[in-house]
Structure 1
Amino acid sequence: MRDWASIDRGGPQPPQENIDKWERAVKENDPSILTNEDRLRMLRRWPLDKANYYCTFHVGSTIDELVQKAAKTDNLTEAEAIIVLNTPFGDSIPEDQQEMTNQKRWSSNTKKMFHDVLELLLTAPEMGSEKTARTNAEIAFGRIKALRKPELKNFSIDDLKNITGCNMLPWVKGIEKHLEQQPVWGFVCIRTSFGEDSSWETFKEFFAHATESALVFPRNFASIRPFWKIQWIEDLSMVDASVVDLCSYFRRLCEENKVEPGLRHDAFLYANTEAIDSVISSPTMPSPAFVMAAQAAYDGTTNPDLPPLYQDFAGSVRISIPHVYTTFWARLISTAEDLQEHLLGKSARMRHTWGEVFAKAQIIHEQTYPIKPFFMGFSPER
């Protein structure tokens, strides 16, 4: 048989015996040549027990249950659509099917042969539900892409890589669980500069637009985007307040129940003169505009156990506004799901402490978080 893998080699190829079997099935127009294991491997569901584990973790059902659902409706979440089309995804790829992760690097001939045999497989009578499910998943995913398309112009490639890179963390799932108990999620932002009110209004409008725009890119965004909130606080006693005073003020607001429970974290935002001016000077996205984020527990002291790189941390960091409710939240705000992923070895290099957020921001001249994805620390499996 023809050595498809040697033609126009694009990178690591699947075993030649697999390619030979694919070619034979297509040539003889006979999907029965493919064993059940062959079929599961082609659908990226081998071994099935691991695929079921990841499917259950992400969407709460087994592969078969999800396929049966998708065969009846295109009303699917993004995670459901991705699993139907490409199981499993992200860091969840079992070691047994590493060869499939190189699909984008296969030679053009190998890709075509795989596509042809997959189309043949879906013609088998017993694959009717699978074929319909994949069609509905494509429809669902098409709607999601249509929502994202007009927002692409607002972001650089690095912005998008930072936001979508966080899909490897279960932060959206964490917010979904949070929303089971609270009606909203988000932050408090304290105004510390009381110049022209028109500038303040422009800042708030930009913040809302940038956040809404950014929140279409996380996986399964539809479950969290309608519920984000920012609580603006304007108190003249906080004009040009120090970080220590702001942190104390925020903690007091929480103690007095003046902050909604869904917005109480070891982080809050504040808008000083520099932050407001960053919007006024660059009011159109993509923009370097930022807001300040502070560690609520900060009291002006430095933890002596901190590495030298973090010793200059003074309680606050500049955060690029489109990344406040995406990259910053995903990497800093911990959840039970983060812990589970950490125990599985998935998120150790992705979660950031306050010290790490500060240290990352110092790498670039602008001293704004996040920085280029290369320096952000991604999981080694990526």
Structure 2
Amino acid sequence: FTAANVLRGDTAVFHYHDVADINLDKDWLIDVRTPEEYALGTISGAVNMPLDSLRARLAELPTDRNLYVFCQVGLRGYLASRILQQKGFTKVYNLSGGYKLFNTVMLDQSAEIPFNCYGEPAVEGEGEKLAVATAEPARSVRTIQIDATGLQCPGPILKLAEGIKQIDSGDELIIKATDPGFATDAVVWCERTGHKLDEMVAKSGTYTAKVRKGQPKAPVLAAAPGDDKNIIVFSGELDKAIAAFIIANGAASMGRRVTLFFTFWGLNILRKSEQVKVKKGFIEKMFGLMMPRGSRRLGLSNLNMGGMGAKMIRGVMKSKNVSSLEELLQIALQNGIRLVACQMTMEIMGIKAEELIDGVELGGVATMLGAAEQSDMSLFI
């Protein structure tokens, strides 16, 4: 959908190699990340206007200048560019790949070889000898390994949390898991708990994470949540799915980051309407036959009447110019709304990743909780 936005002309982009040609005397380079991210590093000359406060600061921006916006990877930059376009700014460009790609490429190009990096340092000669600070020898790093293969969510995360308690700050924990959702969950878990994910390797269906324990956090007052929105879609009924996507798209239109977490019957909303050939066991095949395949086959929670009620609702919605569920889903993808499918539930119900529509990511309970902690509202539908 990102490529489609560019092809349709919904948004314009610029690339990392175009940054050097931006004339900061005439044009604006806007970093829409948070002040904390901005403080850690930004593109030289960029002005920090966080996405969440962009609407309130529109008066600061000129309407006749080029506005180059960027975020970490491109999503928030896209949302910012759409907000600016809706407000009448016509010369808006989003950095493809965001600051992360720019920094990676430019860091590789500008890195200098440290002096005297080959061979042993010379101690003879006329130059002044540098004083070298001495310190107590560092203690050896302890490494423990945990095997969480075969466990489904939240098993691997629970094993990770249990193992991290057994080591000291600076020690390493290596954990292996076969749950695909663990690759996402581990990243979120480390971010929220203050530990460092040094490495995540996926090989032959096994995910190996190397986690370094961080320093214990001092007790602090509970931080106020952000203004993201988190919606757990449990139901697979048409009317409830429509409500979930209307709320999500409404929040996205206000510049909010939205996560839709689909679990159990809600997963059927994300299934492709056409049959996909995948290898399944007997029980998995039975589940697949009994569950609706895709959003077009969902029934109503009340007055379904063998499917007639759902058809009537769709007809009324069309006559009232209300977007269908399928249209709402596409709008959600275009708005950058995050669609997460519960990996554990997929395993239980025999739903394979190949059966899901494009744009869906897999995750587990830690992914959902991480989004919830950044939100000021969580809905269970």
TM-score (norm 1): 0.22
Q: If each structure's strand is expressed as a fraction of its own residues, which one has the higher value?
A: 2
TM-score (norm 2): 0.22
